[in-house]
Amino acid sequence: MIFDMKDENLIFVRFDTNDDFFESLYSVVEKYSMNAGVILSGMGMLKDFEIGWFNTEKDVYEKIKIDTPHELVALTGNIARKEGKPFAHIHVALAGPDKKLVGGHLFGAKVNITNEIFIYKIDSMKFERVAYGSFNRLEGRYLK
């Protein structure tokens, strides 16, 4: 379940256990009609997540899935649109039971316990993801 608050352009959202990370994030993007945004902070725990490292030579993501809940120690990302739909580019750093960190490009995750996320909505810009082969480049224009 999503709890959210807004102070001018700063949006605070809390996701709860078993929420789907991307579904929850995109529902917030739609609720606030975001065309461009940046995640200022994100923490909590993730489980059942899939992360990837981009193999530049082979032009493909090498992915792994991890079920074990991990502490979400850094959540970096931004919000754009691709063909009208919300598109979030998300990287994560996650700590496991041994306190060692894994991470990379986030493809999917479930929330464990809680996620506390702060997003800054950029009213004057529209970000669009434009495909160049397998890479979706972040392009932007001013709305005014």
Footprint on this chain of a second copy (rule: CB under 8 A)? 3, 5, 7, 10, 12, 14, 38-43, 45, 51, 53-56, 62, 64, 69-78, 89, 91-93, 95-105, 112-114, 116, 118, 120, 122-125, 135, 137-140, 142
Count of residues in the chain: 144
Pair 43, 72: CB distance under 8 Å:
yes
CB closer to a second copy out of 27 and 74: 74
CB of 23 to a second copy, least distance (A): 20
Beta bridge partners of 5: 12
Closest Cα to residue 38, out of 88, 103, 107? 88
**With the C-alpha atoms ordered 56, 23, 28, 73, is the resulting torsion angle positive or negative?**
negative
CB of 144 to a second copy, least distance (A): 10
Pair 117, 41: CB distance under 8 Å:
yes
CB of 92 to a second copy, least distance (A): 6
CB closer to a second copy out of 20 and 116: 116
